[in-house]
Amino acid sequence: MTSHGFREITFSINGKEKKLHIDVRKSLLEVLREQLGLTSVKQGCAVGECGACSVLVDDVLIDSCIFLAVWAHGKKVRTVEGEAKNRKLSKVQQAYVDEGAVQCGFCTPGFIMATTSFVEKHKGEKKTREEIRKDHAGNLCRCTGYQNILKAVEKCINSDLVK
Amino acid sequence: MAVGKLVNRVDAVAKVTGRAEYTDDFYRPDMLVAKYFRSSIAHGRVKEINVEKARKLPGVEAIFTYEQVPRIKFATAGHPFSMDPDHKDVADRLLLTRNIRFMGDEIAIVVAEDEIVANKALKLIEVSYEEYKPLIHPDDILKQGAREIHQGSSNIVGEHRYECGGKVDDALKGADYVIKGEYVTPMVQHCHIENHISFAYMDDLDRIVIVSSTQIPHIARRIVGEALDIPLSRVRVIKPFMGGGFGNKQDVVLEPMVAFLTLKLDGRAVQINLSREECMTGTRTRHPFHVQVKTGFLKDGTMVARKMDVLSVTGGYASHGHSVAAAGGSKSSFLYPRMAIEYHARTIYANIPVAGAMRAYGSPQVIYALECATEDAARFIGMDPIEFRLKNIVRQGDVAQVTGKEILSCGLSQCLLKGKELIHWDRKKKEYEKYKTGPVRRGLGVACFSYASGTYPVCVEVAGVRLVLNQDGTVHVQVGATEIGQGSDTVVAQMVAETLGFPFENVRVVQAQDTDVSPFDTGAYASRQAYVVSNAVFRAATSLREKILDYACLMTGEKHGKFDIVEENIVSADSGKFVLTMKELAVDSFYHKERGGQLTSEVSHKTTTNAPVFGCTFVDVLVDIPLCKVKINKIVNVHDSGVILNPVQAGGQVHGGVSMGIGAALSEELLIDPETGYIFNNNLLDYKVPTFIDLPEINHEFVETFEPTSGYGNKSLGEPPVITPPPAIRNAVLDATGVSINTLPMSPHKLFALFKKNGLMDPKGKADV
Ligand code: FES
Ligand code: FES
């Protein structure tokens, strides 16, 4: 299906099947933003340093700026646009709002995907603050000092424990 | 009542859903992309440039070099226009330059259909330089006969001196002891996660629309007009959501260029989106300071004199220039107001990246020196550093020496006492006595600061707000104050709700600033917004409240003074009984055929006061001698910022500032090659911004005072938390090890050298344990 550096890929994006004709040189970040208008996926460095572009591919957290769009073929991609449903925020989103974990908000979509993958992966487990810190260390935030983000993540983990 | 309440940010949901639109989110498929061609040397002149090969590359729309830009020099600092000709920013920039003043200077610009083509084209540009030796060290820059980085400048951007509280030399003579110290702070960078980005297009033949991630839309509009010599009314600047600024976007970095490009390209949309690497060395940084301090004090711990000599390095262009050293000198002077102070500062050019505004604007550098020196004085006479400070610090009712104004609110002593308690000072002091030798040492440190709530009387302080009662009884608010992530829209909504008596949810702050629409305000800087805007909001909301109550009288035929607003209703002032809903009133005002009209209120207000703020950092550290690492066990910031408008957001400001301060203390520094001016770490991998695992728990506390010059008793808070962590940590490391580390950051390689020098390790680097 290759023609002049273009290729057709099929993948699931936020639960919907999508077929796209893409430039093989483009990153997943570029394709999500430019071709699908999924602008929650932010670019802070374009080389895998900041995590602002974090999305889930088959439920694994990746930096979409250094993930070629062609690699998403046949996979399941999730961005923050798919997390709020029926005018209701996801548990993670709500915790970020309630704990004051959002300031400028530029790192927020990436962080929310990081936390989402973390709480899904560790559902029902107890997690220490150190484990939370380590797991989120690939996402940079310059505004919050991570304090309220930590609280938001703890809140999500704990609410799972109660259930 | 909404002020002081725990309310969520008004923009939190937009941000967690990813629906908040930042500059890069207004993508248009037809938009062109522009990329700078930057110098690969730090000091020199372009002999020849050839762009023909690049121009022929398919997809390249245009290339401009220094030869094709207007010969108009302009100043980029985001200051309000000054009517005083002696108080102008230095106009030393052209849109593109032939004279190279730092590595990465902008020589040409490529406009192409996309970034891939633009980057390819950059590689095809051929350039040859006449090279000069880069001037990087102050001694070389100021040497007689050194090449002038800007012609006619003698490499000096500005210089000033002030003396207050008596004659310093006399006071020094009268002191029991005089100690001297030299303190150096490096170049650090803001590292907001959203890089600089702007785009521009024309919406007719004359008008330029610029969408930009800027802290200062109204100022940017003026400077674009100046740089391109077009009337300001032909420029419209829109600031959508912003991914942080920290001062780096209080500077006009990209706007004049995108405006120039769209003008040249028949109004096509052109975007510049800087890469992280460009943003780190091609925008602005924090000025490195070299500070010498002389402190005179008495045997009982009373400080009587302080002499400071500051050298501030602004890099290749002035940008905010000498204002930074000037502000650092005046805002820190409130801290110890009962002694003679002399402050002398000079700002110089250098062939290194340009320094501009950065969170707390000169104060982190000056206070670092000042609080290291204060610590050294306390230790010299063996006095407890808290006692020593309590003896000398500012109290309510003191007169600020530089301004001659009385300090109307000050809770600094309470801050120190609170911090002392929270860090368990007395207990730990004792406990840590046994940790002063061996491989693991422990210590406590403290430092305090003063800062201001704006820029008056140096600059005008004007804020504008417009309130409109909607048909459904809610209110819309437009403010010129710029939301950049710090939460100003939320506190404005709280203030409006407070004064109107409306539920917080019924107040909607319009979220973008647009110079065509937003009331005039100079923008987000100097932690001014909540303070300056409070005076405008209070007046506007009071007036709208009056109008609403008058209208209720008109509707009901009752006399003035009969009604009150409670939540969504008009009620009787006496009995509290329901009269009518706000919605009924609003509908009547809009649609009654004979009476009323839209109820609005608009105020533009100049604040002619500037309330000092205060606070301190306490820190408990562990120093691992063999590893040369400082670990923070506990850190506490205590602030007097007047009335706290929103406790969670205020806490967030402190967390962010402290984390930036910890970065500056321990790991952050742009590493400059002293020979070539090359920056070794222009990226987020090699430049060490603290990550989640690098930071300890950050504790904060507020000592609430009431500031009478502010609409709601509040004072500044945005920048101050960044100021004192570095000196507090330095003082704690000194407490733990006996070693004074007088340059930042206190990174392992620096500690290694100093520990060796001071005998904590043997010459081979083995810990002497
Ligand atoms: S933009 Fe992908 S990691 Fe920074
Ligand atoms: S909220 Fe601004 S970078 Fe995280």
Domain shared by B121 and B224, yes or no: yes
ipTM of the complex: 0.97
Return the residue of A nearest to B700 by Cα. A147
Domain shared by B125 and B105, yes or no: yes
Q: In this predicted model, what pLDDT tens digit does every residue of A146-157 receive, in sequence order?
A: 999 999 999 999
Contact between A97 and B9 using a beta-carbon 8 Å cutoff: yes
Enumerate the residues of chain A whose CB falls inside 8 A of the CB of residue B658.
145
> Do the domain assignments include residue B15?
no
Say whether pLDDT at A4 is over 80. no
Q: How confident is the model at residue A1 (pLDDT cuts 50, 70, 90)?
A: very low
Neighbours of B424 (CB within 10 A): 14
Tokens of B428: 């730990």
Output the average pLDDT for chain B.
97
What is the Å distance from ligand 1's center to A119 Cα? Answer: 22
Q: In this predicted model, what pLDDT tens digit does every residue of B422-474 receive, in sequence order?
A: 999 999 999 999 999 999 999 999 999 999 999 999 999 999 999 999 999 99
Which of B253, B263, B190, B178 has its CA nearest to residue B223?
B253
Contact between B692 and A137 using a beta-carbon 8 Å cutoff: yes
Contact between A143 and B485 using a beta-carbon 8 Å cutoff: yes
Q: How far is B651 from chain A (nearest CA, A)?
A: 9
> Do the domain assignments include residue B226?
yes
Say whether pLDDT at B658 is over 50. yes
Domain shared by B296 and B445, yes or no: yes
Give nearest CA residue, ligand 1 atom 3. Answer: A48
Q: How far is A74 from chain B (nearest CA, A)?
A: 25
Instruction: Supply the pLDDT for residue B623.
Output: 98
Mean pLDDT across B269-285: 98
Enumerate the residues of chain B whose CB falls inside 8 A of the CB of residue A132.
692
Q: In this predicted model, what pLDDT tens digit does every residue of B386-414 receive, in sequence order?
A: 999 999 999 999 999 888 999 999 999 99
Say whether pLDDT at A3 is over 70. no
Q: How confident is the model at residue B85 (pLDDT cuts 50, 70, 90)?
A: confident
Return the residue of A nearest to B359 by Cα. A143
Instruction: Supply the pLDDT for residue B307.
Output: 98
> Do the domain assignments include residue B173?
no
Q: How far is B447 from chain A (nearest CA, A)?
A: 20
What is the Å distance from ligand 1's center to B407 Cα? Answer: 47
Q: Which of B686, B692, B694, B717 would you mutate first to test chain A, the one with the most A CBs within 10 A?
A: B692
What is the Å distance from ligand 2's center to A111 Cα? Answer: 9
Tokens of B217: 């839309």
Residue carrying structure tokens 């939370």:
A132
> Do the domain assignments include residue B75?
yes
Structural domain boundaries, residue B55: 27-134+190-282
Contact between B698 and A145 using a beta-carbon 8 Å cutoff: yes
Domain shared by B597 and B647, yes or no: no
Please state the atom number of ligand 2 nearest to the C-alpha of residue B244.
Answer: 2
Return the residue of B nearest to A112 by Cα. B16
Enumerate the residues of chain B whose CB falls inside 8 A of the CB of residue A50.
193, 276, 684
Mean pLDDT across B631-656: 98
Under a CB-based contact definition with an 8 Å cutoff, are residues B670 and B733 in contact?
no
Under a CB-based contact definition with an 8 Å cutoff, are residues B709 and B461 in contact?
no
Which of B522, B504, B465 has its CA nearest to residue B711?
B465
What is the Å distance from ligand 1's center to B76 Cα? Answer: 29
Return the residue of B nearest to A134 by Cα. B693
Say whether pLDDT at A2 is over 60. no
Return the residue of A nearest to B684 by Cα. A49
Q: How far is A117 from chain B (nearest CA, A)?
A: 15
Distance CA(A101)–CA(A95), nearest Å, equals: 8
Cross-chain CB nearest to A39 (options B12, B14, B21) = B21
Please state the atom number of ligand 2 nearest to the C-alpha of residue A143.
Answer: 2
Identify the CATH number of the domain in which residue B246 sits. Answer: 3.90.1170.50
Name residues contacting ligand 2 (CB within 6 A).
A 102-108, 141-144; B 193, 244, 485
Share of chain B above pLDDT 90, in %: 96
Sign of the alpha-carbon dihedral angle for B589, B591, B595, B600: positive
Domains of chain A: 2-82 (3.10.20.30), 91-157 (1.10.150.120)
Output the average pLDDT for chain A.
95
Q: How confident is the model at residue B506 (pLDDT cuts 50, 70, 90)?
A: very high
Domain shared by B580 and B591, yes or no: yes
User: Which of B282, B297, B317 is the last residue before a domain boundary?
Assistant: B282
> Do the domain assignments include residue B130?
yes
> Do the domain assignments include residue B158?
no
Mean pLDDT across B360-365: 98
C-alpha of B4 from chain center: 24
Cross-chain CB nearest to A107 (options B11, B193, B698) = B193
User: Which of B574, B590, B606 is the last residue before a domain boundary?
Assistant: B606
Return the exposure string of A123-149: e unless at least 16 CB atoms fall within 10 Å of the residue's CB, then b: eeeebeeeebbebbebbbbbbbbbbbb
Q: In this predicted model, what pLDDT tens digit does every residue of A105-141 receive, in sequence order?
A: 999 999 999 999 999 999 999 999 999 999 999 999 9
> Do the domain assignments include residue B185?
no
Domain shared by B563 and B616, yes or no: no
Rg (CA), chain A: 16
Contact between B276 and A25 using a beta-carbon 8 Å cutoff: no
User: Which of B577, B606, B635 is the last residue before a domain boundary?
Assistant: B606
- State how far the alpha carbon of B746 is from the alpha carbons of B564, B661, B671, B752, B761, in Å: 59, 12, 14, 10, 17
Give nearest CA residue, ligand 2 atom 3. Answer: A141
What is the widest separation between alpha-carbon atoms in chain B? 92
Instruction: Supply the pLDDT for residue A163.
Output: 52
Domain shared by B232 and B358, yes or no: no
Higher pLDDT, B28 or B209: B209
Mean pLDDT across B729-753: 97
Q: In this predicted model, what pLDDT tens digit does every residue of B226-269 receive, in sequence order?
A: 999 999 999 999 999 999 999 999 999 999 999 999 999 999 99
State the DSSP string of A8-24.
EEEEEETTEEEEEEEET
Domain shared by B498 and B467, yes or no: yes
Instruction: Supply the pLDDT for residue B764.
Output: 77
Q: How far is B135 from chain A (nearest CA, A)?
A: 30
Say whether pLDDT at B769 is over 60. no
Contact between B12 and A96 using a beta-carbon 8 Å cutoff: yes
Domain shared by B96 and B218, yes or no: yes
Say whether pLDDT at A162 is over 70. no
Domain shared by B613 and B680, yes or no: yes
Given ligand 1 and candidates A30, A43, A139, which is best to mutate, with the most ligand atoms within 8 Å of its CB? A43
Q: How many domains is chain B built from? A: 3
What is the Å distance from ligand 2's center to A34 Cα? Answer: 23
Identify the CATH number of the domain in which residue B637 sits. Answer: 3.30.365.10
> Do the domain assignments include residue B98?
yes
Domain shared by B650 and B509, yes or no: no
Under a CB-based contact definition with an 8 Å cutoff, are residues B45 and B98 in contact?
yes
Q: Which ligand is nearest to the CA of A62?
A: 1
Domain shared by B448 and B475, yes or no: no
Q: How confident is the model at residue B1 (pLDDT cuts 50, 70, 90)?
A: confident
